[in-house]
Chains A and B, each alone.
Chain A
Amino acid sequence: MMSFWPSRWCSPASAAPAKAASRQDAGVLTVDLLVQQQNFRLQLNEQIPLQGVTALFGRSGCGKTTLLRAIAGLDRHPTARIHFAEQPWQTADTFMPVHQRRIGMVFQESSLLPHLNVQQNLLFGYQRRANRLLVQLQPADVIDLLELDPLLTQAPGQLSGGQRQRVALGRALLSQPQLLLLDEPLASLDQQSRQEILPFLQKVARELKMPMLLVSHQLEDVVKLADHLLLLQDGRVISRGPLAQQLLQPEFAACGAMSVLTAVYQSCQHFMLQLIVGGQLLQVPAPVSSPTANGSYRLRILARDVALSLKPLADSSVTNQLAVRIIAIQAAAHPAEVLVQLEVADQPLQALLTRQSAQRLALTPGQALFAQIKAVALD
Chain B
Amino acid sequence: MLNLAPEDWLAIQVTLKLCFYTTLILLLIGTPLAFWLAQAQSRWRTAIQALVALPLVLPPTVLGFYLLLLLGPHGAIGSTLEALGLRHLAFSFSGILIGSVIYSLPFTVQPLLEAFRRMGQRPLEVAATLGANQWDQFFNVVLPLCRGGFVVAATLTFAHTLGEFGVILMLGGSIPGETQVLSVLIYDHTEAMNYSQAHQLSLGLLVTAFMVLFIVYGLNRRLEREVSL
Residues of A bordering B, CB below 8 Å: 72, 74, 97-100, 103-105, 107, 111, 113-115, 124-125, 128-129, 171-172, 175, 181
Contact = CB atoms under 8 A, between A and B. Distances in A.
Contact of A124 (B122, B125, B130): B130
A111 B132 CA distance: 15
Determine chain A's interface SS by DSSP, over half rule: mixed
Contacts of A113: 123, 126-127, 141, 145
A77 to B, nearest CB: 14
A97 B132 CA distance: 10
A99 B133 contact: yes
Nearest to B145: A115
A19 to B, nearest CB: 24
Given A74-B128, A128-B130, A129-B130, 4 more contacts: A104-B129, A111-B125, A113-B127, A172-B129
Contacts of B130: 99, 124-125, 128-129, 171-172, 175
B144 A115 contact: yes
Contacts of B145: 113-115
B128 A128 contact: no
A128 B132 contact: yes
Interface of B: 122-123, 125-133, 136, 141, 144-145
5 contacts: A74-B128, A105-B125, A115-B144, A124-B130, A128-B132
Contacts of B131: 99-100, 125, 128-129, 175
A119 B133 CA distance: 21
Contacts of A181: 129
A128 B131 CA distance: 6
A181 to B, nearest CB: 8
B121 to A, nearest CB: 9
B126 A98 contact: no
Contacts of A172: 129-130
A112 B126 CA distance: 8
A175 B130 CA distance: 6
A103 B129 contact: yes
B122 A111 contact: yes
A100 B131 CA distance: 6
A167 to B, nearest CB: 12
A182 to B, nearest CB: 12
A103 B127 CA distance: 12
A175 B129 contact: yes
